[in-house]
Structure 1
């Protein structure tokens, strides 16, 4: 008896693989290749002089440092928010759930103007914070606040489905066996949501590194103080220094790729360890 042929919804492997590689090549690899080509048009000495300038290094430190801080804050805040939205019923829960997606839909320039209006010295919040010595507008701290705002949905929407699918019976069993709330969270809940948390962190970090519109309005854009790397790139393009802009962008690309690669390796190690434990 001849084995029955498997009926697939999509076309064959060769066609779908070819389309996938073509699409990725046109949308992802071609722009990155053009970026590297512009960078290679410079000599190594010019490239190093561009990316190692004190102003550029300060922008790198601020961009990646603020992005890392914002992503870490979003991991904790996003987990708490996702937990409340999934585990509790309260008036306005659906509205709160919808508001989480607002930074996705809101134009980044609008977000920047809104944050500046709130955090500036004469803003709704800034007028009360500045007398206490807490200045957020036109400072690195304001950049972190802006990046937290635009990155929070990535963590919430990554963790929320995992919490919804989690088996509450395991938590009840842990409680029946005498586990405390902290022990239940540490040994039952956290291992299940850890991969989603890492993914949310990676997405929030990647978005924060490349953010421009919501940051320039709140940063003040002062060189060596509150100037981000994307603004350096824009400035070089306005000066028709395409190669210099490509050099700065290449360093950002390499650092971001290295960090995402490390995060993916951490995720793979976590899955492997979880499989061995099972």
Structure 2
């Protein structure tokens, strides 16, 4: 009797896996390993002193605070933009849909200069905001939030958009027929299917914002302890030939980013599994996909 052999779709799996591991090692593992190895030359006390200096702590707060705020803003408005682009037909829809990808194609330095020109106290928007409301945007942390929001919007929209397209309009109609209000339909039927993708878009936007440099340095003003982001501080230390100081900051950013993204991914996994479990309870034949939400429609009306 011939032994059963597992047939793979792609031939040469072992060779392909080897190439993939080598490629990832050269691009990711070896550079990160070198970064950690360089920082290990310091004692724990020396590392802690450099990592927790006043200027470093201020840059962490500005970097992660503005990144979190920008990603949160895009999680809310990105969902609205994706919903409008998918659910409604209106003149110029294709143009606005293509406009979402503009931050991908536009060089970040160009985006930074453009935003600075708009929001400076002599700019088209800045002179009105600062003159009428007394609120300064450019050369403050708020300018960083504006730049990061502009750069990271496509990550949320393009992540959520395909999921919304997979949700049939009949599900909303069924929920309305069963007596559910619009808020109940959104909260109980639509959001559970979209939420895992929304978390993914939020994580992508957040991780992109943490490492953003080109669009921020022009509008931030780069004032130490006020509007200086950690990537800029790392560049400043490298220009001063402070390789150890730059390495310490890079390791801190790496560790914090890793744990934040791990937490977001765990939350996303929990949300997706919870949604599938609820779908099976409401409809034993449900697969838990966004397109099969008849049971959720019944639950919304309950």
Q: TM-score range by the shorter chain?
A: over 0.9
Q: Which runs of 5+ in 2 are unaligned?
A: 281-302
Partners of 2:7 and 2:30 in 1: CA distance: 35
Rounded Cα–Cα distance in structure 2 between residues aligned with 1:274 and 1:17: 33
Say yes or no: does 1:51 pair with 2:64: no
Unpaired runs of at least 5, structure 1: none
Alignment correspondent of 2:190: 189
2:273 and 2:77 map into 1 onto residues whose CA distance is: 27
Q: Is contact 1:38-1:242 (8 Å) kept?
A: no
Deviation at 1:267, TM superposition (A): 1.2
Q: Which residue of 1 aligns with 2:18?
A: 18
Q: Distance in 2 between matches of 1:159 and 1:103?
A: 17
Report if aligned partners of 1:59, 1:229 keep a CA contact under 8 Å in 2: yes
Structure-to-structure mapping, 1:74-113, within 5 angstroms = 74-113=74-113
Q: How many Å apart are 1:26 and its aligned residue?
A: 1.5
Greater shift in the superposed pair: 21-30 or 150-159: 21-30
Is the aligned partner of 1:227 residue 2:228? yes
Q: Distance in 1 between matches of 2:196 and 2:272?
A: 8
Residue 35 of structure 1 is matched in structure 2 by 35
Q: Does 1:114 align with 2:114?
A: yes
| Deviations, residues 85-117 of structure 1 (Å, cap 9, x unaligned) | 000111111110111000011111000000000
- Distance in 2 between residues matched to 1:44 and 1:4, nearest whole Å: 55
Q: Which residue of 2 aligns with 1:178?
A: 179
Mapping for residues 202-241 of structure 1, pairs under 5 Å:
202-241=203-242
2:261: which partner in 1?
260
Residues 79, 157 of structure 2: 8 Å contact kept: yes
Please report how far the alpha carbon of residue 6 of structure 1 lies from its aligned counterpart in structure 2 after TM superposition: 6.5
**Aligned pairs for 1:113-152 within 5 A:** 113-131=113-131, 132-152=133-153
Q: Deviations over 1:121-170 (max 9, x none)?
A: 00000011112211000001111011000010000000000011112221
After TM superposition, the score normalised by the length of structure 2 is 0.89
- Name the TM-score, length of structure 1 as normaliser: 0.96
Report the aligned-residue RMSD.
1.5
Shift of 1:43: 2.2
Residue-by-residue CA offset, 1:188-236 (whole Å, 9 max, x unaligned): 1100000110000000000000001100100000011001000110011
Relative CO higher for 1 or 2, CA cutoff 8 Å, sep ≥ 6?
A: 1
Check 1:4–1:60 CA distance in 2 against 1; reply closer, same or farther (3 A cut). same
* Counterpart Cα distance in 2 of 1:275 and 1:180: 23
Q: CA deviation at 1:17?
A: 2.5
Structure-1 separation of matches of 2:168 and 2:42: 56
Offset at residue 3 of structure 1 (A) = 8.9
